[in-house]
A and B are shown apart, each in its own frame.
Chain A
Amino acid sequence: MAVGLRHDFERMAQWIPAASQVLDLGCGDGELLRFLREWRGIKISYGVEIDERNVLRCLQNGINVIQSDLDAGLSMFEDQSFDVVILSQTIQAVRHTESIVSEMLRVGREVIVSFPNFGHWSHRLQIALGRMPVSDRLPYDWHNTPNIHLCTMVDFEQFCADRQIKILDCCALNQGKPQKFLPNMFATLAVYRLCKASG
């Protein structure tokens, strides 16, 4: 994970009203929740994290953390009990992608998901040249990567469309700056705001 403030944080913060109750899944050391607390005044928030070193850092950062495996579900959280549920650059490392997204939509009135865009031209080029892509956003080799479910922006939008998930907002970022032109080709990072279509 990149050191310092990540580019998707500010974008996410703009989508989260100050009085929101926020759940951050795969919260790492609590960096995002800390950012939201300090810059957005978010008072009620919890992080879910599996890694014990990160759980310790959350405690040191004064973040409420629940140590749990996302792939085991979110049974400790009630239906529609959070304003926003965030999955920040974690969806690509989750085993049961579909079930975690549906759990997020169960627990949260809105869901924010960010992920490295696999459709970025540099990834396409590397594959065209016969290699698995390695980049700033995906700094792993094929054999040691935790990223088992990578997708492009187009893939993700299709995933949502197939499951009656409404895309409320989308922000494509290229090195931290909005990428309007051919985002699936030039964006390094994608951030989506979602809710249930029927809702």
Chain B
Amino acid sequence: MEDKKPFLERFLDNPIGLLIMSLGIFAISYFIWGIIIVLSTPPLPEAFKISILGGE
């Protein structure tokens, strides 16, 4: 009985596994992280706005 091939050798021959890994990393690192950053952009602070709009 042959020794089982190393994990990476088998993984390289696993198209669906590669697909899931690739899309998963992409989705998390680029999209999810990025969208969270953008959607959590804060509004201009009130105190700052008052200092601009107010008088001296």
- Tell me, yes or no, whether A binds B: no
